[in-house]
Amino acid sequence: MTSHVLHLTAIEALPEIYAGDKLSSLLAEAVQRSDLRVQDGDVFIIAQKIVSKAEGRYVDLDAIEPSDEARRLAELTGKEARFVECILRESSAVLRAVPDRLIVRHRNGHVMANAGVDHSNVPASGKGERVLLLPLDPDASADRLRLELEQLFDARLGVIISDSFGRPWRQGVVNVAIGVSGIHALQDKRNFPDREGRPLRVTQIALADAAAAAAGLLMGEADEGRPVVHLSGLHALASGTSARDLLRPLEEDLFQ
Amino acid sequence: MTSHVLHLTAIEALPEIYAGDKLSSLLAEAVQRSDLRVQDGDVFIIAQKIVSKAEGRYVDLDAIEPSDEARRLAELTGKEARFVECILRESSAVLRAVPDRLIVRHRNGHVMANAGVDHSNVPASGKGERVLLLPLDPDASADRLRLELEQLFDARLGVIISDSFGRPWRQGVVNVAIGVSGIHALQDKRNFPDREGRPLRVTQIALADAAAAAAGLLMGEADEGRPVVHLSGLHALASGTSARDLLRPLEEDLFQ
């Protein structure tokens, strides 16, 4: 990190996103309507929800038959059984289930509430209620969006797909990175000794999570007006990274 | 949140901070040497370490006699017994103790590693090794710094005292707020229904934590070169807030 100034700008006037939309093109058009200049090293932080919408990750609840386990957890949590079934199909483990809260490990490895399955802001189809799942592979979505945006802007970019997570001991949600492409997800701190010659113990910062959290300061939620934020000044381009870098290995999990 | 653009600027050339220093004055002098304009609504995010240093929160390890419990946990974690004793004196509960990791609830309520007791970048006194504790009351420190900075800059400001925290299921550290004054710590999302008329479920964002995380993108650690970040554009001034707003009540803790 050599930058001393960061600028974050919410992209205005993105249209409502529908299944099959080419998100990168819609985003580039919105940027072209603004004053924003996109340069090498810039990062786009994109709310998971519009990526999922573009990918058509809807599930009709009418088509869902809850399992016994889903019914049991629905009873326990007070959530709707078909909704819980969707959550279970997205999850590799249930960590906690209590009234109003269902904390799972998503198949993609992220520990989160409701496996990211979203009931709100999902336009109802004619047929009945729908929910929206996370992108099938958020890192792959980030890779694809990055490559498309790099072509459209003729610049080397980073892309983060973000979602808002609760935390076990803290109130409120913060945005974290569930998909990362083109920039460091984790960044090693300079590993030289401190002024007294002691080696530093803490050596990695969750760069993509911090960038996602920063973008969250500008993203709305209720009206979905600003699901994309442009970040300049970070200087953290990297290849071969992914949001999987941010997952603590299961064997180091003290709080399963 | 009505802002669409945020600017974050690391304050350059703060001197090394010593016990008794008036941090607000040193910060104002550093700002005056820069191009930065400070305006109503701006926020200063200040690394805990320099607040602790200014407050002289040093402990001489030579003066510490480890308790039996400290010796037991030192054995278990591989940490030094006097260091563990300092951690225990700062803590209300030990959540997890395994090799290399000691997760506690600090007396101030924050769940964190080592109770924030810091071994690195602490100038050794002549007498022996010293460690640095968190500020005695980070919210009170934030209040005091905010009032002093508001006088120095003749503007209504927010102050966040930040520290870098690990997360149970994610790699790397992010900055969070351990002291808050003058701005929302938690912010209610607009509570009107979504486009389909369903009420939103998630209603609070951890604004001060997200601002701290954003500032963390610019703060170094190894060289402590940039322990203060200026944030403009947030428009979240509020009175009567504190970092305690960010603590999940004990009775809602599923992961003690």
With beta carbons less than 8 A apart as the criterion, state whether B167 and B174 touch.
Answer: yes
Q: Nearest CA to CA, how far is A44 from chain B (Å)?
A: 14
Claim to verify: residue A178 and residue A65 sit in the same structural domain: no
d(Cα B105, Cα A133) in Å, to the nearest integer?
35
Claim to verify: residue A38 and residue A164 sit in the same structural domain: yes
d(Cα A181, Cα A160) in Å, to the nearest integer?
7
Q: Pairing between strand A43-47 and A158-167?
A: parallel
Query: Which residues of chain B make contact with A3, given a CB cutoff of 8 A?
Result: 218
Smallest Cβ–Cβ distance between B168 and the set A8, A12, A255 belongs to: A255
Under an 8 A CB cutoff, do A209 and B12 touch?
Answer: no
- Per the domain annotation, does B255 fall within a domain? no
DSSP per-residue string spanning A60-81: EGGG----HHHHHHHHHHT--H
Under an 8 A CB cutoff, do A186 and B205 touch?
Answer: no
Claim to verify: residue A169 and residue A220 sit in the same structural domain: yes
pLDDT in tens, A69-111: 999 999 999 999 999 999 999 999 999 999 999 999 999 999 9
Claim to verify: residue B181 and residue B191 sit in the same structural domain: yes
Claim to verify: residue A149 and residue A43 sit in the same structural domain: yes
pLDDT in tens, B80-121: 999 999 999 999 999 999 999 999 999 999 999 999 999 875
With beta carbons less than 8 A apart as the criterion, state whether B76 and B98 touch.
Answer: yes
Claim to verify: residue A45 and residue A74 sit in the same structural domain: no
Taking the model in full, what pTM does it have? 0.94
Is a pLDDT exceeding 80 seen at residue B150? Answer: yes
Cα nearest neighbour of A5 on chain B: B9
Smallest Cβ–Cβ distance between B172 and the set A174, A186, A253 belongs to: A186
- How many domains in chain A? 2
Q: Supply the pLDDT for residue B222.
A: 47
Under an 8 A CB cutoff, do A247 and B175 touch?
Answer: no
Q: Supply the pLDDT for residue A221.
A: 57
Looking at this protein, which amino acid is placed at residue A230? H
Query: Which residues of chain A make contact with B5, given a CB cutoff of 8 A?
Result: 7-10, 218
Which of A170, A200, A248, A252 is the mutation pick for testing B, counting most B CBs within 10 A?
Answer: A170
Smallest Cβ–Cβ distance between A168 and the set B168, B174, B201 belongs to: B168
- Per the domain annotation, does B253 fall within a domain? no
What angle is formed at CA A247 by the lines to CA A241 and CA A252, rounded to 5 degrees?
135
Is a pLDDT exceeding 60 seen at residue B233? Answer: yes
Query: Which residues of chain B make contact with A12, given a CB cutoff of 8 A?
Result: 4
* Other CB atoms within 10 Å distance of the CB of residue B99: 9
With beta carbons less than 8 A apart as the criterion, state whether B20 and B54 touch.
Answer: yes
Query: Which residues of chain A make contact with B230, given a CB cutoff of 8 A?
Result: none
d(Cα B245, Cα B256) in Å, to the nearest integer?
19
- Domain stop point among A132, A159, A176: A132
Is a pLDDT exceeding 60 seen at residue B221? Answer: no
What angle is formed at CA A132 by the lines to CA A126 and CA A135, rounded to 5 degrees?
135
Claim to verify: residue A96 and residue A191 sit in the same structural domain: no
Smallest Cβ–Cβ distance between B253 and the set A122, A168, A234 belongs to: A168
Give residue B224's pLDDT band: very low, low, confident or very high (50, 70, 90): low
Smallest Cβ–Cβ distance between A96 and the set B9, B170, B254 belongs to: B254
**A150-154, B84-88, B212-216, B251-255: segment of lowest average pLDDT:** B251-255
Mean pLDDT of chain B: 91
Say what the ipTM of the complex is.
Answer: 0.94
Q: Supply the pLDDT for residue A12.
A: 87
Give residue B2's pLDDT band: very low, low, confident or very high (50, 70, 90): very low
d(Cα B120, Cα A37) in Å, to the nearest integer?
41
Q: Nearest CA to CA, how far is A63 from chain B (Å)?
A: 20
Q: What percent of chain B has pLDDT over 70?
A: 88
- Domain stop point among B87, B111, B132: B132
Is a pLDDT exceeding 90 seen at residue A119? Answer: no
Claim to verify: residue A86 and residue A29 sit in the same structural domain: no
Under an 8 A CB cutoff, do B206 and A174 touch?
Answer: yes
Parent domain of B192: 7-56+136-248
pLDDT in tens, A142-174: 999 999 999 999 999 999 999 999 999 999 999
Query: Which residues of chain A make contact with B248, given a CB cutoff of 8 A?
Result: 167-171
Claim to verify: residue A145 and residue A119 sit in the same structural domain: no
Claim to verify: residue B219 and residue B117 sit in the same structural domain: no
Q: Supply the pLDDT for residue B3.
A: 58
Find the CATH number of the domain harbouring B49: 3.30.1330.100
Claim to verify: residue A47 and residue A139 sit in the same structural domain: yes
- Per the domain annotation, does A209 fall within a domain? yes
Give residue A2's pLDDT band: very low, low, confident or very high (50, 70, 90): very low
pLDDT in tens, A22-69: 999 999 999 999 989 999 999 999 999 999 999 999 999 999 999 999
- Per the domain annotation, does B254 fall within a domain? no
Cα nearest neighbour of A228 on chain B: B4
Q: Supply the pLDDT for residue B203.
A: 74
pLDDT in tens, B20-57: 999 999 999 999 999 899 999 999 999 999 999 999 99
- Domain stop point among B132, B159, B174: B132
- Per the domain annotation, does A1 fall within a domain? no
Q: Tokens in use for A51?
A: 């990526």
Find the CATH number of the domain harbouring A107: 3.90.1660.10
Smallest Cβ–Cβ distance between A101 and the set B1, B205, B254 belongs to: B254
- Per the domain annotation, does B2 fall within a domain? no
Q: Supply the pLDDT for residue A222.
A: 47
Smallest Cβ–Cβ distance between B169 and the set A96, A216, A253 belongs to: A253
Is a pLDDT exceeding 50 seen at residue A1? Answer: no
Query: Which residues of chain B make contact with A77, given a CB cutoff of 8 A?
Result: none
Q: What percent of chain B has pLDDT over 90?
A: 83
Count CB pairs under 8 A between chains A and B: 230
pLDDT in tens, A209-240: 999 999 999 997 545 569 999 999 998 999 99
- Per the domain annotation, does B29 fall within a domain? yes
Under an 8 A CB cutoff, do A172 and B246 touch?
Answer: yes
Claim to verify: residue A36 and residue A85 sit in the same structural domain: no
d(Cα B114, Cα B106) in Å, to the nearest integer?
9
Query: Which residues of chain B make contact with A7, given a CB cutoff of 8 A?
Result: 5-8
Give residue A122's pLDDT band: very low, low, confident or very high (50, 70, 90): low
Give residue B12's pLDDT band: very low, low, confident or very high (50, 70, 90): confident
Phi and psi dihedrals of B30, rounded to 5?
Answer: -65, -40
Can you tell me whether residue A225 is helix, strand or coil?
coil
Under an 8 A CB cutoff, do A223 and B190 touch?
Answer: yes
Is a pLDDT exceeding 70 seen at residue A176? Answer: yes
- Per the domain annotation, does B1 fall within a domain? no
pLDDT in tens, B161-203: 999 999 999 999 999 999 999 999 999 875 555 555 655 555 7
Under an 8 A CB cutoff, do A1 and B218 touch?
Answer: yes
Q: Which residues pair with B59 in a beta bridge?
A: B131
pLDDT in tens, B99-108: 999 999 999 9
Element (H, E) at B44: strand B43-47
